[in-house]
Each structure stands twice: as C-alpha cells, then as structure tokens.
C-alpha cells in the first residue's frame, strides 16, 4: 500500500450549518466512492473553509458518516481577494493501492478551482 493525499472541494450557497454539513458529507462520500476507500485505510483529513463560512465545522459531517476513528482538523483558508466564495476544501491522507490512480473530487461551483480535472468530474 502507498500513502496518498486526495484533494477535494465543494461550495455552499449560504453560511448555514446544515448546508455546510450536507455539502461536506456529499464531498467526503464522493471521495470515498471514487477512490474505493475503506475507513480503516484513512490516516487523517484536513478541512478548510473560506472566511465567509463559520456556521459549522466540516469535521462534524465526517463524524456523522462514520469517520470517528480518523483524525480530523478544520482550519481557515487564506482570504485571497477575488477568490471563489463559500468553499469547503479537504485533504485526505490514506493508504491506497499504488497501481490505482488518485481521483480528486471537485463538486458544485468548486469545479472552477481545477478546470484541468474537468474530465474526471
């Protein structure tokens, strides 16, 4: 097995706790599905939010779907003028088969963050 880092991002329409939880849950589930991950293969996960999101911790969503044994951390994204608003990002460290390709996930308006991955979305 190889240690791998998987990236993902999504957006929400408003700074609302349930919106943050739903979008984060969707993102985490999609990263897990696209990479055929098992929770026991996950090492850690870092979530960041843009400065306009503070109604809830994205890690709460990960816990809600069973990532209770995975160390999680939430942090603030750098506030760059003109950057895409209301973005939740994640960086998941996990063990994976070295022969499989990493599948990063960008959902909703966050697809604009990685136009180079459009074919994989």
Active site residues: 7, 63, 74, 77, 89, 106, 114
87 to each of 81, 104, 108, how far by Cα in Å?
14, 16, 10
Q: How far is CA 103 from the centre of its chain?
A: 12
The DSSP string of 56-106 is: S-HHHHHHHTT-TTS-EEEEEPP--TTPPSSEEEEEEEEEE-TTSPP--EE
Position of tokens 């400065």? Answer: 51
């Amino acid at each position: 097995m190889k240690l791998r880092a998987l990236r993902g991002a999504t957006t929400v329409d408003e700074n609302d706790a349930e919106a943050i939880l739903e979008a984060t849950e969707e993102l985490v589930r999609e990263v897990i599905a696209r990479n055929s991950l098992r929770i026991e293969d996950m090492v850690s996960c870092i979530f960041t939010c843009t400065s306009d999101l503070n109604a809830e911790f994205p890690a709460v969503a990960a816990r809600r779907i069973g990532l209770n044994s995975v160390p999680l951390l939430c942090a603030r994204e750098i506030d760059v003028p003109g950057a895409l608003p209301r973005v939740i990002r994640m960086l998941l460290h996990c063990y994976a088969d070295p022969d499989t390709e990493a599948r990063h996930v960008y959902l909703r308006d966050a697809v604009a963050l990685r136009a180079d991955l459009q074919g994989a979305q």
